């Protein structure tokens, strides 16, 4: 192809720009490219700001840094645009993780920093200097010295802008922390000794310059030499270091009356003794108050920098030991409000080289201090410089940050050769003295061979690899595994010619398995924090489980092969699909197709299939298969149930339990009891939640929560088929479809006579019809207008339950309530569940009524919230969906305030259960 060249256009009254029509002589003509440059710069600025805003809550990825780097070298990008980009990166590095800093160092952005330091634009010079200082805090001095920027930074100390001087001093003080950095500064600046202390009026600049002096002194010069070079004389050095902090801020945390001075000897006395220290340990001395001085609690009378936070030079091990010895009265290695100690430790500031001190006060600051020091110890650091903002950070910001950069990583698991040793050591998947075991599904020979190779390569692991039969959820087979527990294999992908497990997130630190409906709420959190790949992996595992195990399992343990849990797959898949990278729409559609096909199979073969479907009413139930006693229960949990049967057979309770488990004794009533027990586990509201709602009748109940979830399945599937797949979805897997509409007669016909999934394409019309039909069933059997509430329906007794459950608000989340029903729920029923800490699972009236006839020996459900907050979230979303924003915000605030209070007062705890009535996580279970 010939190279493009500019051709003169024909003369025309429409051709008014001179570069396209050079022959046109008109004084009004202008050069198009010259005119377009300001517009071009404006467009690039708008584009860059949109990228910054779009990715503000997403991780600092390599791709994003490459995009930012593409703006920095070009002249047609405004300096203000470059400054905005540098400011955003600096903010992320300052408050992000060490990996974020290293990502910046390895990106093109880092290479353009020298050019930014030479910018004629003041904000650009300042932001580039600040970015260098932040990078030094996380990565050390070495990476910065490679670019040779010390001379540029030294020259910026003479800049006309004090903002630039401040940031340059910040970067240089960090560089001077190392011997190589100090030498580089001395060589680049030509200083024979140390730089003169700044005469700036800004305390922050004086403080940074003082820090630079101290760092250079430590590495290169003697005390006398530094004093000689200080422009203000030898006595001014300490004076400037003192004054750099600035005046105190008037912050008062408790009344002055709470602290008094004994005028007889000038000693302090306190009406709240935990606010201040008794005589402290060596190195943590409390300063004596002056006579007549009322010292306020916490940080009110300590000197506080107006423009800069303090930094503390900390001996990690010694400080941990001293703080815990002084403050941890319970000996649990935590600092909480329950520790009856003064909650005060004095720390030496780094900028004064330990000359000045500052009091760290209160439970939150001390627990944050211990937390940061333990992290430093885990990273094998003996001494650190600790920034004050890490100790005083807003608790909500701290909690959010810890979840994003720490908790997700610590909860991420992977089942493959690398992660299997830790997972298989879990006592839930093995019994005493038995080797760890993994069960591989039928039809995955490559996966089975992979795990056999792992067993051969790691003989010390003693891994037992077993292949499951074609029907792994047969009740008799599952019972045979009671004494051979193991972990179940999950989805894998091929990487560089070998299989690797797809990562998943466990719901708690002691969990090593994939869990069912826990994973839905985990997915919501992952998406908020930009962890789309992890969220997608959870959906991939659910698809794998439906394909190979017949259902989404309660957990990926062999003991749960018969149990599923509340279905959330369609909404979960759509939430992830909407966040996938739009660069490959065809691949995204293919992935969504697999997820929807899996949900259709689960719907037909589990939720509207017997025994879970009641064909008479059309209500689905939690009614799993299974035999005998649940294997993961304490030996004494069912002693009160076994006692009359043991007496009947003349056996001890343990002997009867063993014979019943082995199938040697038949007790139909006991079989029914354990059917309901398994159903309660499948409902997700099991004994961990301790609800009296389902006692000895769960398997018979058509619950409002399950019907609402299935309505959502039907609407989601219909919508996806219509909007994404042009109203036609061909199924890849063959299985029997459930009759519709359901009836006793249609379900009595053999499976072999039913329509097959591959016989025709799925259409939206059918699924919308199913949803409309289900809404009618819900209104007929579950809605009670006189009580303004939905109630579960007992399909055996053919009557509504009287238990008032908070799951009524799931109907709002799913959208199956009418506007009138929603209004009645909000105006008449919401107040029955709302307490100080949010929503309780059941009303007190229902709880008391059920408890009187309960045979369970576990704690009951009022006033406790659930072991984690699905009902809170479902209610918030449902209320918002119907326009009740004020109620949604109020409930969300109640619960989040209770959670944050526990986090602040109890050493960063995120508990599984709350006492919502007393606004506390201290629940005796």
**What confidence tens digit (pLDDT) does each residue in 134-164 have?**
888 877 777 777 777 788 888 888 888 888 8
What local confidence, expressed as pLDDT, does residue 289 receive?
41
The pLDDT tens digits of the residues spanning 314-355 come to 899 999 999 998 988 888 888 888 888 888 888 888 877 777
Helix H or strand E segment including 487: strand 487-488
CA atoms 323, 325, 327, 331: torsion sign = positive
The pLDDT tens digits of the residues spanning 759-805 come to 999 999 999 999 999 999 999 999 999 999 999 999 999 999 999 99
* Contact indicator for 243, 274 with CB cutoff of 8 Å: no
What local confidence, expressed as pLDDT, does residue 489 receive?
96
Q: What is the pTM of this model?
A: 0.68
What local confidence, expressed as pLDDT, does residue 816 receive?
97
What local confidence, expressed as pLDDT, does residue 795 receive?
96
* Contact indicator for 839, 871 with CB cutoff of 8 Å: yes
What local confidence, expressed as pLDDT, does residue 920 receive?
63
The pLDDT tens digits of the residues spanning 681-691 come to 999 887 544 45
**Between residues 4 and 254, which one has the greater pLDDT?**
4
Mean pLDDT of 437-445: 95
What local confidence, expressed as pLDDT, does residue 117 receive?
87
How far is the C-alpha of 258 from the C-alpha of 235, rounded, in Å?
39
Phi, psi of 438 (to 5 degrees): -125, 135
What local confidence, expressed as pLDDT, does residue 877 receive?
96
What local confidence, expressed as pLDDT, does residue 211 receive?
73
Say yes or no to pLDDT of 78 above 90: no
What local confidence, expressed as pLDDT, does residue 922 receive?
62
Query: Average pLDDT, whole number, for the chain?
Result: 80
Residues 383-402 as b/e (b if ≥16 CB within 10 A, e otherwise) read ebebbbebbbbebeebbebb
What local confidence, expressed as pLDDT, does residue 865 receive?
46
How far is the C-alpha of 333 from the C-alpha of 342, rounded, in Å?
16
Say yes or no to pLDDT of 258 above 60: no
SS (H, E, C) 861-894: CCCECCCCCHHHHHHHHHHHHCCCHHHHHHHHHH
Left, alpha or beta for 413 (phi > 0: left; psi -120 to 50: alpha)? Answer: beta
Quick count: other Cβ atoms within 10 Å of Cβ 680?
24
Least confident piece of the model among 171-185, 496-510, 562-576: 171-185
Phi, psi of 464 (to 5 degrees): -100, 115
Q: Which residue has the tokens 């809605």?
A: 783
Band (185; pLDDT cuts 50, 70, 90): confident
Mean pLDDT of 223-235: 40
What local confidence, expressed as pLDDT, does residue 450 receive?
96
Residues whose CB is less than 8 angstroms from the CB of residue 831 and which lie 6 or more positions away in sequence, other chains included: none
Band (431; pLDDT cuts 50, 70, 90): low
Q: Which among 188, 180, 229 has a CA at the least distance from the CA of 209?
A: 229
What local confidence, expressed as pLDDT, does residue 47 receive?
83
* Contact indicator for 506, 411 with CB cutoff of 8 Å: yes
Mean pLDDT of 510-519: 92
Residues 357-367 as b/e (b if ≥16 CB within 10 A, e otherwise) read bbbbbbbbbbb
What local confidence, expressed as pLDDT, does residue 513 receive?
92
Long-range contacts of 515-519 (CB under 8 A, 24+ apart): 515/554, 515/555, 515/556, 515/565, 516/552, 516/553, 516/554, 516/555, 516/564, 516/565, 516/566, 516/684, 517/565, 517/566, 517/568, 517/684, 517/870, 518/868, 519/572
Measured in whole angstroms, the distance separating CA 53 from the mean position of its chain's CA atoms is 21
The pLDDT tens digits of the residues spanning 101-130 come to 888 888 888 888 888 888 888 989 989 888
The pLDDT tens digits of the residues spanning 468-480 come to 999 999 999 999 9
What local confidence, expressed as pLDDT, does residue 191 receive?
58
Band (444; pLDDT cuts 50, 70, 90): very high
Helix H or strand E segment including 783: strand 783-784
* Contact indicator for 721, 763 with CB cutoff of 8 Å: yes
Least confident piece of the model among 62-71, 673-682, 788-797: 62-71
The pLDDT tens digits of the residues spanning 807-861 come to 999 999 999 999 999 999 999 999 999 988 889 888 878 777 665 555 454 444 5
Least confident piece of the model among 207-211, 442-446, 580-584: 207-211
Mean pLDDT of 869-883: 93
Say yes or no to pLDDT of 222 above 50: no
Measured in Å, how far apart are the chain's first and last C-alpha atoms?
78
Three-state SS at 359? strand
Residues in the chain: 925
Band (233; pLDDT cuts 50, 70, 90): very low
Domains of the chain with CATH codes: 1-30 (no CATH), 33-190 (1.25.10.10), 256-393 (no CATH), 410-607 (no CATH), 663-905 (1.50.10.10)
Residues whose CB is less than 8 angstroms from the CB of residue 167 and which lie 6 or more positions away in sequence, other chains included: 125, 126, 127, 129, 130, 133, 156
Mean pLDDT of 688-712: 83
Mean pLDDT of 24-38: 44
What local confidence, expressed as pLDDT, does residue 96 receive?
77
What local confidence, expressed as pLDDT, does residue 691 receive?
56
Band (247; pLDDT cuts 50, 70, 90): very low
Q: Which residues pair with 498 in a beta bridge?
A: 495
* Contact indicator for 784, 800 with CB cutoff of 8 Å: yes
Planar angle of CA 774, 778, 779, nearest 5 degrees? 120
Q: Which residue has the tokens 């690797």?
A: 500
Q: Which among 463, 405, 472, 514 has a CA at the least distance from the CA of 92?
A: 405
* Contact indicator for 104, 142 with CB cutoff of 8 Å: no
Three-state SS at 398? helix
Distances (CA, A) of 391 to 365, 557, 649, 804: 5, 41, 64, 44
What local confidence, expressed as pLDDT, does residue 73 receive?
85
Mean pLDDT of 36-52: 74
**Between residues 153 and 262, which one has the greater pLDDT?**
153
Q: Which residue has the tokens 């005796």?
A: 924
Residues whose CB is less than 8 angstroms from the CB of residue 165 and which lie 6 or more positions away in sequence, other chains included: 156, 157, 158, 159, 198, 200, 205
* Contact indicator for 575, 524 with CB cutoff of 8 Å: yes
* Contact indicator for 322, 345 with CB cutoff of 8 Å: yes
What local confidence, expressed as pLDDT, does residue 176 receive?
82
* Contact indicator for 612, 644 with CB cutoff of 8 Å: no
Quick count: other Cβ atoms within 10 Å of Cβ 899?
21
Q: Which residue has the tokens 């001085």?
A: 293
């Amino acid at each position: 192809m010939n190279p493009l060249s500019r051709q003169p256009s024909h003369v025309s009254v429409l051709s008014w720009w001179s570069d396209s029509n050079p022959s046109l002589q008109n004084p009004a003509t202008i050069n198009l490219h010259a005119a377009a440059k300001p517009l071009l710069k404006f467009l690039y600025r708008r584009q860059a700001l949109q990228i910054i805003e779009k990715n503000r809550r997403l991780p600092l990825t390599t791709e994003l840094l490459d995009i930012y780097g593409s703006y920095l070298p070009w002249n047609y990008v405004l300096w203000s645009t470059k400054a905005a980009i540098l400011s955003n990166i600096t903010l992320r590095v300052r408050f992000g993780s060490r990996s974020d800093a290293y990502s910046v160092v390895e990106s093109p952005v880092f290479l353009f920093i020298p050019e930014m330091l030479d910018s004629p634009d003041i904000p650009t010079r300042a932001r580039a200097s600040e970015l260098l200082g932040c990078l030094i805090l996380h990565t050390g001095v070495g990476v910065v010295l490679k670019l040779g920027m010390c001379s540029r930074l030294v020259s910026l100390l003479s800049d006309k802008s004090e903002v630039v001087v401040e940031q340059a001093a910040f970067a240089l003080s960090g560089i001077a922390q190392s011997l190589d950095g100090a030498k580089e500064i001395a060589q680049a600046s030509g200083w024979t000794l140390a730089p003169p202390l700044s005469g700036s009026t800004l305390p922050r600049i004086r403080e940074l310059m003082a820090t630079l002096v101290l760092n250079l002194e430590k590495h290169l010069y003697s005390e006398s030499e530094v004093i000689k070079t200080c422009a203000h004389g030898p006595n001014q050095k300490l004076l400037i270091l003192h004054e750099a902090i600035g005046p105190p801020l008037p912050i008062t945390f408790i009344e002055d009356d709470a602290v008094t001075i004994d005028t007889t000897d000038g000693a302090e006395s306190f009406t709240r003794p935990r606010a201040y220290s008794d005589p402290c340990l060596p190195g943590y001395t409390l300063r004596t108050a002056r006579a007549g001085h009322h010292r306020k609690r916490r940080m009110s009378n300590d000197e506080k920098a107006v423009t800069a936070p303090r930094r503390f030079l900390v001996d990690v091990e010694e400080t941990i030991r001293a703080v815990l010895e002084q403050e941890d009265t319970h000996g649990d290695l935590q600092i909480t409000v329950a520790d009856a100690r003064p909650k005060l430790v004095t720390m030496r500031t780094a900028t004064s080289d330990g000359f000045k001190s500052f009091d760290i006060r209160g439970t939150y600051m001390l627990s944050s201090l211990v937390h940061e020091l333990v992290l430093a110890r885990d990273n094998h650091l003996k001494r650190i410089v600790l920034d004050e903002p890490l100790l005083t950070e807003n608790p909500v910001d701290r909690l959010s940050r810890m979840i994003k950069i720490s908790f997700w990583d610590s909860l991420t698991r992977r089942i493959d050769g690398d992660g299997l040793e830790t997972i298989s050591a879990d006592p839930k998947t093995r019994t005493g003295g038995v080797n760890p075991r993994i069960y591989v599904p039928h039809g995955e020979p490559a996966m089975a061979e992979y795990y056999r190779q792992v067993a051969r390569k790691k003989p010390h692991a003693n891994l037992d690899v077993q292949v499951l039969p074609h029907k792994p959820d047969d009740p008799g087979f599952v019972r045979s595994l009671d004494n051979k527990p193991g972990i179940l294999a999950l989805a894998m992908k091929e990487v560089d010619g070998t299989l690797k497990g797809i990562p998943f997130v466990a719901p708690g630190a002691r969990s090593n398995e994939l869990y069912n409906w826990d994973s839905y709420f985990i997915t919501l959190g992952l998406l908020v924090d930009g962890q789309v790949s992890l969220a997608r992996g959870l959906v991939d595992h659910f698809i794998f489980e439906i394909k190979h195990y017949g259902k989404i399992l309660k957990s990926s343990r062999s003991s749960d092969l018969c149990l599923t849990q509340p279905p959330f797959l369609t909404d979960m898949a759509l939430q992830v699909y909407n966040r996938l990278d739009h660069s490959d729409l065809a691949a995204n559609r293919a992935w969504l197709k697999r997820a929807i096909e899996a949900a259709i199979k689960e719907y037909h073969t589990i939720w509207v299939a017997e025994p879970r479907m009641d064909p008479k009413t059309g209500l689905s139930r939690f009614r799993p298969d299974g035999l005998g006693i649940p294997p993961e229960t304490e030996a004494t949990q069912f002693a009160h149930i076994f006692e009359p049967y043991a007496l009947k057979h003349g056996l001890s309770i343990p002997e009867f339990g063993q014979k019943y488990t082995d199938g040697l004794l038949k007790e139909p009533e006991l079989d029914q009891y354990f059917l309901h027990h398994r159903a309660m586990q499948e409902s997700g509201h099991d004994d961990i939640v301790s609800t009296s709602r389902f006692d000895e009748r769960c398997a018979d109940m058509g619950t409002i929560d399950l019907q609402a979830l299935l309505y959502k399945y039907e609407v989601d599937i219909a919508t996806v088929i219509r909007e994404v797949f042009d109203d036609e979805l061909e199924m890849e897997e063959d299985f029997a479809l459930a009759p519709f509409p359901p009836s006793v007669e249609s379900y009595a016909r053999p499976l072999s006579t039913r329509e097959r999934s591959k016989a025709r394409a799925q259409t939206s019309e059918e699924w919308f019809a199913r949803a409309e039909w289900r809404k009618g069933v819900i209104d007929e059997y579950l809605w009670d207008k006189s009580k303004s509430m939905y109630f579960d329906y007992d399909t055996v007794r053919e009557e509504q339950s009287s238990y008032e459950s908070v799951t009524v608000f799931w109907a709002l989340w799913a959208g199956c309530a009418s506007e009138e029903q929603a209004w009645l729920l909000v105006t008449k029923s919401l107040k029955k569940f709302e307490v100080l800490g949010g929503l309780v699972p059941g009303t007190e009236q229902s709880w008391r009524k059920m408890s009187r006839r309960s045979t369970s020996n576990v704690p009951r459900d009022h006033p406790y919230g659930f072991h984690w907050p699905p009902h809170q979230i479902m209610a918030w979303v449902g209320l918002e969906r119907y326009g009740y924003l004020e109620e949604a915000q109020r409930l969300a605030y109640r619960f989040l305030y209770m959670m944050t209070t526990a986090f602040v007062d109890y050493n960063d705890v995120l508990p599984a259960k709350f006492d919502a009535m007393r606004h506390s996580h201290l629940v005796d279970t």
